[in-house]
Amino acid sequence: MLDMVAPRFISLDTSHWVGLCRSLGDKASNPSAARALRKLSAEGWILAMSLHQVQELLAHKDERLAIARLSTLRHVLTMATIAGVDDNDMPGSVVDVQRLEIMAAIHHPTFDAQAVRQNARAAVFRVTTGDAVVEAIMPLAHVIREHTLARQARTRETASISQATVLDGSRMPFDLNGAARSSSGVAAHCDDLSERLAKELAERGDPRITDPRGAAKEFVDSIAAHRQDIVGSAQPVAEILKIAGLTVEDVASFKNVGQIAELSHFRRNIGIASDGTGIAADELRHLSQERLPTWVVHRALLRHRAVATQAQGGDLTDSHLLSLAPYFHTTFVDKRTLENVRRIRDHDSAAGGLLGDVRKASSWSKALDLLLAGSPPK
């Protein structure tokens, strides 16, 4: 049947994958879950998994349970993965998709984000079987789980700091000819920023952050590590830009610090994603932010998401999965992400036009029911 119906790739929310694995692993519910998956496949729908979801499935304190949960994917006869750089069925990440986008954009200089997506799309997914996916993951499952668990504390801090309003650069005007503060002025500013960030992390950060003050101080110290070079420079703004990997020419038209932060973040991202492609640094420097679909969506989320009452470490995974939405027919998300998608569509037509069908469902079975019923998104 799949030869007659063009595959439509589905991204389930991580909670859906957890529920599906639980149903597949239960003797009583396995037959009905397997039937639902066969029906889905017959209609041309294919569940696709990324490394981000693998990490969350394995991030359980009981390793035996985590491995058993992942093993239930053997019951999924047809599924897909985000294609990684290696020629196997190991699920890849948003970095792998961004690599494809960069290569398409560089090789086709006139392509906009829509054309880049169309060019990259054919290589984004690898259709395979659940059994093959499990076989690819299992040799690395212990390492992936240990790495994910070891990074959880930092992930919670990163997710919370990235949403801190005290660091919102869009509110900070940028003056290319601005003078540097004195050494004592910089120290006082850093101390004040650290205190305000610590307060916000304590009030709105992931509640599992054990030391908001320490996390805030470590972050501020990291961005102020080169402050002596800046204070002593005859061109302090140029020195700051150099540290950020930018030039004066890059930011000549910028009006606020947020624009600088976005471009610096973008350059770091594409530097990582393009590693091993042979693309020269100068070519990357001329690559526009508006041409990579994953980045257009990611940037729109950072700009327009609602201020969270409480940040969560899982917000990072949610942002990665939403960045992949341009390549899925349908992406299922949680309630908070769906609200942010609404805000993106209201404020950023370019990102909204790339997102496609994004919706919410209370469970994996409800998600499949919506697809099979042809229910339109709300």
The answer to whether 11 and 328 are in contact (CB under 8 A) is: yes
SS3 103: helix
First to last CA, the chain: 29
Query: For the sheet containing 357-359, what is the strand order?
Result: 125-128, 79-82, 45-49, 8-11, 330-332, 357-359
Share of the chain above pLDDT 70, in %: 94
DSSP string, 295-314: HHHHHHHHHHPPPPSS--TH
Quick: pLDDT tens for 245-260.
898 899 988 988 889 9
Please, which pLDDT band fits residue 231 given cuts at 50, 70 and 90?
low
Please, which pLDDT band fits residue 186 given cuts at 50, 70 and 90?
confident
76, 78, 84, 89 alpha-carbon torsion, rounded to 10°: 70
Rounded Cα distance between 261 and 246, Å, is 10
DSSP string, 36-62: HHHHHHHTTEEEEE-HHHHHHHH--S-
Rounded Cα distance between 288 and 270, Å, is 11
Quick: pLDDT tens for 41-53.
999 999 999 999 9
Q: Output the pLDDT for position 375.
A: 62
Q: Output the pLDDT for position 2.
A: 43
Domain ranges of the chain: 8-155+313-373, 165-290
Rounded Cα distance between 26 and 7, Å, is 28
Residue 181 has pLDDT above 60, yes or no: yes
The residue among 130 and 180 whose pLDDT is bigger is 130
Which residues make Cβ contacts (< 8 Å) with residue 326, sequence separation at least 6?
Answer: 117, 293, 294, 297, 354, 355, 356
Q: Beta-carbon neighbour count of residue 282 at 10 Å?
A: 7
Rounded Cα distance between 293 and 22, Å, is 33
Rounded Cα distance between 132 and 130, Å, is 5
**φ, ψ dihedrals at 111, nearest 5°:** -70, 135
**φ, ψ dihedrals at 292, nearest 5°:** -105, 115
Quick: pLDDT tens for 56-98.
999 999 999 999 999 999 999 999 999 998 878 999 999 999 9
Which residues make Cβ contacts (< 8 Å) with residue 242, sequence separation at least 6?
Answer: none
The tokens for 245 are: 């990997």
Report the sign of the C-alpha dihedral through residues 35, 36, 37, 39, in that order.
positive
Q: For the whole model, what pTM was predicted?
A: 0.91
Task: Provide mean pLDDT across the span 287-314.
Answer: 94
